[in-house]
């Protein structure tokens, strides 16, 4: 519990320490001063609590007119206490979500750094730009080598069993094998679609036959359209070194 004492007059002792007094030559000064301090306390609490929102609880105040002391607490001790500031649950929840997102972003960055060597090797052997490989990995698995989709795609590049067999991947959970298989598949798609990155990416998601079926255009599937947009944005960011 905190206490605020409202000063109307001040005096300084022989040690230079100022002492707050409650008496005043102005009749109603203590009451006015208490109201002013109560408002100040409210603003101060808001500033502090915005810095630590996860610890934000309901706050109560009691203005003891007889002593000039304002009591602040998160647990009212009597009916004399009034609610000063209510804890907004949605704000706490929102900040916890942001905190979790920050942790996820940090983990993703660490995983990406650990795999840069493998991505560079797969890029060198396949001829696919490392920036494109990073963009596809980001969207496909978020750099989680154990990621598995509901359709059975597995690993960093989310290879399906038939695609893995097609490109000689015996262990889809192995990061190096999975990356190499996905890179070789992307190189093939870029070749048949005349190095058109968006069509190759669309084919990686929906299959090359779907792109061909729709006249060498991105298939009108919502999932594929969103997939191409996400990969394209990340690809440009990696190319411009906006993602470190």
- For the annotated catalytic residues, the residue numbers are 140
Q: What share of the chain is helix, strand, coil (3-state, %, to 5)?
A: 55, 10, 35
Q: Which residues are CB-neighbours of 160 under 8 A, at least 6 positions away?
A: 151, 152, 153
11 vs 67: CA distance, rounded Å: 18
3-state DSSP assignment of residue 183:
helix
Backbone angles phi, psi at 61, to 5 degrees: -135, 145
Q: 168 — phi, psi (to 5°)?
A: 70, 30
In our burial notation (b when 16+ CB lie closer than 10 A, e otherwise), range 112-146 reads beebeebbeebbeebebbbbbbbbbbbbbbebebe
Which structure tokens are listed for 179? 């990356």
The two structure tokens encoding residue 65: 């007119």
Paired tokens of 190: 């870029």
CA atoms within 13 A on the CB side of 2: 12
């Amino acid at each position: 519990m905190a206490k605020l004492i409202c000063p109307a007059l001040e005096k300084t002792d022989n040690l230079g320490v100022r002492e707050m007094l409650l008496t005043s030559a102005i009749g109603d000064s203590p009451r006015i001063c208490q109201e002013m301090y109560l408002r100040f306390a409210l603003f101060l609490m808001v500033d502090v609590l915005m810095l630590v929102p996860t610890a934000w609880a309901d706050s109560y105040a009691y203005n003891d007119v007889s002593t000039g002391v304002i009591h602040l607490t998160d647990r009212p001790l009597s009916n004399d206490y009034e609610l000063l500031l209510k804890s907004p649950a949605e704000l706490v929840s929102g900040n916890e979500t942001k905190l979790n997102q920050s942790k996820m972003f940090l983990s993703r960055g660490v995983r990406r750094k650990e795999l840069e060597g493998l991505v560079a090797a797969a890029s060198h052997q396949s001829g696919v730009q490392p920036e494109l490989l990073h963009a596809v990995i980001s969207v496909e698995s978020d750099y989680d080598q154990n990621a598995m989709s509901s359709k059975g795609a597995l690993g960093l590049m989310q290879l399906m069993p038939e695609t893995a067999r097609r490109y000689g991947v015996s262990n889809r959970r192995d990061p190096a094998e999975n990356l190499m298989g996905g890179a070789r598949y992307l190189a093939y798609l870029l070749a048949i679609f005349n190095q058109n990155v968006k069509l190759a990416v669309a084919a990686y998601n929906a299959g090359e036959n779907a792109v061909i079926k729709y006249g060498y255009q991105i298939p009108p599937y919502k999932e594929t359209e969103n997939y191409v947009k996400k990969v394209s944005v990340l690809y440009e960011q990696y190319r411009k070194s906006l993602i470190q």
